[in-house]
Amino acid sequence: MIKGNNIVTGVGSYLPERVVTNDELARKIDTSDEWIKERSGIRQRHIAAEGEYTSDLGVAAARRAIEDANMSVNDLDLIIVATTTPDLTFPSTASIIQEKLEMRHGAAFDIQAVCSGFIYALHIADSMLRAGPYKNALVIGAETFSRILDWEDRSTCVLFGDGAGAMVLSTANDSDSGIIANFIRSDGRYCDLLYVDGGPSRTQSVGHVRMVGNQVFRRAVKDIAIAMKECAAIAGIEPKDIDWFVPHQANQRILDGVGRQLGLTSEQIISTVAHHANTSAASVPLAFDVAMRDGRIKRGDLVMLEAFGGGFTWGATLLRF
Ligand code: ACO
């Protein structure tokens, strides 16, 4: 058995109530259910209600993860939130979530690596738990991505949705489970292929998502496969040796392409892209939670998480659940 240190003690997720189907979008913009399904695998997405913020989604997912860990807020000492759609420019969404959870101790901060945010946040939490003195970190990926979409740009607005996922990561000595390997990368040369055209310093506005989808697609398949191989190599295994692959849910064709390159079966790949669309930093913990609660991912299973996003940023995490 491969040894791990910090273990995932709880998982939870939350999706806003409102579901928007492809057909509903096709009534407003020049697209079709057939095009969206064929090119991306997406059938529907959840969209946050007016007055429902990223912190609200994050809190709901966090409460479920804390309950799943059999803990209370008092047991936590760290909150890390991965988001590209913070409630406000500042304070951090993590600070707002800390307040909503009535947590009166510990530290809370946001990290920004777009769709790879949860993988980056897990790596940071894992490192901080190893360094001490922290014992239980709440790691959240939460997004209201619908708020930064240009709803007249059919090449982007059909691809994204809102949601949140969370994990509690805890120190554990002599555990056979836990995080085995982390791998993160970025390459700033590709900023122009996937970005938001606004921000506090440059435009004093929030801006909208812009993406050259087909070029992002090609890089994503290649870099995700490399990240998974690097992560597996750290642990001395082959990617196909894992029980489950929990990828960032951007496009079913990306998942199939990566699966083919690495010799994974379609049964090993957890896919929620049809129902959630791309929820950016929330997509990996959301998919993990779905597969844990429906009984596929079980304690003791070897799981590879992976993400790719704006920056470009990408990475993978190997863990024994
Ligand atoms: N409905 C109908 N037609 C459309 C739509 C739409 N919603 N959107 C684009 N089209 C048209 C285009 O205009 C184009 O028409 P043309 O051939 O007449 O010019 C045609 O469809 C093909 O467009 P492509 O962009 O080449 O289509 P592609 O097969 O590449 O699929 C997609 C597009 C789904 C965006 C795909 O490229 C993709 O998934 N890319 C990767 C996305 C990703 O992984 N992003 C990273 C994470 S996101 C983040 O970090 C924020």
Q: How confident is the model at residue 173 (pLDDT cuts 50, 70, 90)?
A: confident
Tokens of 23: 């057909």
pLDDT in tens, 229-261: 999 999 899 999 999 999 999 999 999 999 999
Nearest CA to ligand 1 atom 5: 155
The total of other beta-carbon atoms located within 10 Å of residue 118's CB is: 34
The total of other beta-carbon atoms located within 10 Å of residue 42's CB is: 26
What is the CATH T-level fold of the domain 7-170, as seen in this structure? Answer: Peroxisomal Thiolase; Chain A, domain 1 (3.40.47)
Sorted by sequence, the CB contacts under 8 Å of residue 260 that are 6+ apart come out as none
Domain 178-320 has CATH 3.40.720.10: no
Rounded distance, CA 16 to CA 49, Å? 7
CA nearest neighbour of 145 among 90, 89, 196, 182: 196
29 DSSP 8-state letter: S
- Taking the C-alpha atoms of 47, 48, 53 and 54 in order, what is their torsion angle to the nearest 10 degrees? -40
Boundaries of every domain in the chain = 7-170, 178-320
Q: How far is CA 295 from CA 183, 241, 276, 290, 316, in A?
A: 27, 20, 19, 9, 23
pLDDT in tens, 67-88: 999 999 999 999 999 999 999 9
Ligand 1 atom having least distance to the Cα of 251: 39
Nearest CA to ligand 1 atom 39: 251
Q: pTM of the prediction?
A: 0.97
213 CA distance to ligand 1 middle (Å)? 5
Tokens of 120: 């980056």
Domains 7-170 and 178-320 share a fold: yes
